[in-house]
Structure 1
Amino acid sequence: MLHCVVQKHPKLWDELLGQAEFAYNSMTNRSTGKSPFSIVYTKLPNHTVDLAVLPKCSSKLAADFTVQFSKMLQEVREKLAESNAKYKENADKNCRERTFKPGDLVMIRMRRERFPQAYKSKLSPRKIGHFAVLKQINPNTYVVDLPSHYNTSSMFNIGDLPAYYPPDEAPTNLSSSDSDSSVGGGE
């Protein structure tokens, strides 16, 4: 958002930060259906063309305000719960429950935080292994038989443990004598 506000003047970002914050806080949020301003201050912010009329304060107005504010907060909570349920439903559509037993073979997904010495380039392998599962700590955590030279904990989240499938036994011949240089753009 700040990039859009700054456009061709990136060195003025600190002067335009207030505008970006105001724009963000006055926009309607997809999850709540309300802007952050309307949730915190119970109304939309006044803009330069608005005339601010301050109401007279009395106990009836204060009571009405309290009821209105409580009702609005309840609506926001319900909207958030509804939105979270939709997000969960969409996430659960793509989620498959996986479990491993001791002895199952798994690959380990490489993460820069966990394997900084092995994560050197974009072309490095994304998974290593195959390693045997030693035990299950809880439904999301497994202990893997990881060699000590990796210098990291052998406990992994299930999201970092895809199942290992051995390669096919079909022979693969990659010698250049089998390919025809006239095919595929050669001369």
Structure 2
Amino acid sequence: MLRCLVLEHPRQWEDVLSKAEFTYNAMTNRSTGKTPFSIVYTKSPNLALDIAVLPKCKSSSAATFTDTYKEMIDNVRQQILSSNQRYKDAVDAHRRQSLFKVGDLGMVRLRRERFPTGTYSKLSRRKIGPVLIIAKINDNAYTVALHADCNTSPTFNVSDIWAYKPPDDGIILVSSSELSSSEPGED
């Protein structure tokens, strides 16, 4: 928002900061359906009435006002919870549940962060494997037996592991010498 307001004069952002804040607080929020002003101050921005703590009083109009305000806050809370549930449902629709057992074979994805600085290449393989799953940390993390030339942690998030599907019905054997060699090509 600030970038749009200070488009030609970026050093004058302080001059428009209060306008940006006021505008943001006056806009209707997608999750709550209300403006931050109406939630905090119970009215549109013309009046700034903060009723965070009201003492017990005998005025029926004040009691009605606070009850109405409390009801509105509870309604906002429910709208936020339902909005969060809709976001969760949308994300869960694309999430895949993967559970592996120790001894299964899998393919692991090496993300850019796993490579030492300067060794990552856009053209390098994204998945390596098949690798043996040697330990289950929890439903979300597994330890795999990486080759000795892989200079990265053997613990992977489940989102980076896929079940290995061989191209044919042949039996795949992973020898212990492949897993424990310190140099590539060493037996």
Which residue type is aligned with residue 62 of structure 2?
A: A
Aligned to 1:99: 99
Q: Matched residues in 2 for 1:161 and 1:118: separation? A: 24
* Structure 2 residue runs without a partner (length 5+): 169-187
Q: Sequence identity of aligned pairs in percent?
A: 52
> In 2 relative to 1, CA 72–166 (structure 1 residues): closer, same or farther, beyond 3 Å?
same
Aligned to 1:173: none
> In 2 relative to 1, CA 62–145 (structure 1 residues): closer, same or farther, beyond 3 Å?
farther
> In 2 relative to 1, CA 25–108 (structure 1 residues): closer, same or farther, beyond 3 Å?
farther
Say which is worse superposed, 109-118 or 59-68, in terms of deviation: 109-118
* Structure 1 residue runs without a partner (length 5+): 47-51, 169-187
Are positions 1:28 and 2:24 aligned together?
no
Please, what TM-score do these two structures have when normalized by structure 1? 0.69
* 1:28–1:34 Cα contact (<8 Å) kept: yes
Matches within 5 A, 1:1-187: 1-46=1-46, 52=47, 59=57, 60=59, 61-117=61-117, 120-147=120-147, 150=150, 152-166=152-166
Please, what TM-score do these two structures have when normalized by structure 2? 0.69
Tell me the number of residue pairs that the alignment of Structure 1 and Structure 2 aligns: 161
Cα RMSD after superposing both structures = 3.0
Q: Which runs of 4+ in 1 moved over 6 A?
A: none
Q: Matched residues in 1 for 2:160 and 2:136: separation? A: 14
Aligned to 2:171: none
